[in-house]
Amino acid sequence: MIGSGILKGMAVTARNFVGSYFEKERLITVQYPEERNPLPENYRNFPILIYDTDDPHAGLRCVACKICEKECPPQCIYIVKSEDKKPDYMGKPQFYPKVFDIDISVCMSCQICVEVCPFEAIKMDKEFELSKRERFDHLLLRREQLSKSNDYYHKIHPVEAAAVDKNLSDAAAAAEAKKKAAAEAAAKAAAAKAATATPSAQGKASTGS
Ligand code: SF4
Ligand code: SF4
């Protein structure tokens, strides 16, 4: 029937309008900014850089590999790699970003940078109150503004952050086990070499006497 869609739509509107006087969940308007709806776990806005411990420099996970810079579709990431190295979360010396800028006036929140990062170093923030009076400098976020602690990451994405922590600790444990196995193998090889070298050395010693 022509117009049935309009009638159905009006019925939905009427049901919600009348229902809003009786059921709280139908009251979808909140008195922002005094009231705020909680954001869902998967809500995302712009990227942030995660650091471990309390030190935004020493704990920064980013190793300036520049993969995210290359993959970012609108090319809004700018990285300058350091000349020196600092230990990463596994104690391995790594480069770090001397400069890490993101132009959030260009960023389209696609999360590709997060997907391609091999170091769990870049994640999506939930902060959305970012309006500024200036178009250029004020929307260009520097490394210092982008750096957020792992505790902050846990606060905004608890489920995702817990999974990331587990991945990182599993990787650290696997690396530690590999290192231990290699050290044991090297010690065994050295012992075997010493055992085979001993009789000939003894033989030489006895011939000489
Ligand atoms: S979210 Fe997308 S557009 Fe924004 S910095 Fe990451 S890759 Fe670039
Ligand atoms: S955020 Fe990740 S992908 Fe981007 S430079 Fe740092 S380590 Fe590499």
Average pLDDT of span 36-46: 92
Tell me how far the alpha carbon of residue 175 lies from the centroid of ligand 1, in angstroms. 31
Is 0.85 topped by the overall pTM? no
Average pLDDT of span 182-204: 79
Q: Lowest-confidence range among 29-38, 107-116, 199-208? A: 199-208
Is the CB of 102 within 6 Å of ligand 2? Answer: no
Average pLDDT of span 82-96: 89
Is the CB of 67 within 6 Å of ligand 1? Answer: no
The mean predicted confidence, pLDDT, of the chain is: 90
Statement: residue 200 has pLDDT above 60: no
**pLDDT grade, residue 209 (50/70/90)?**
very low
Statement: residue 28 has pLDDT above 80: no
**Closest protein CA for atom 6 of ligand 1:** 113
Give the DSSP letter of residue 63: -
Is the CB of 77 within 6 Å of ligand 2? Answer: no
Q: What is the 3-state secondary structure (H, E, C) of 68-119?
A: HHHHCCCCCEEEEECCCCEECCCCCEECCEEEEEEECCCCCCCCHHHHHCCC
Is the CB of 79 within 6 Å of ligand 2? Answer: yes
Average pLDDT of span 182-202: 82
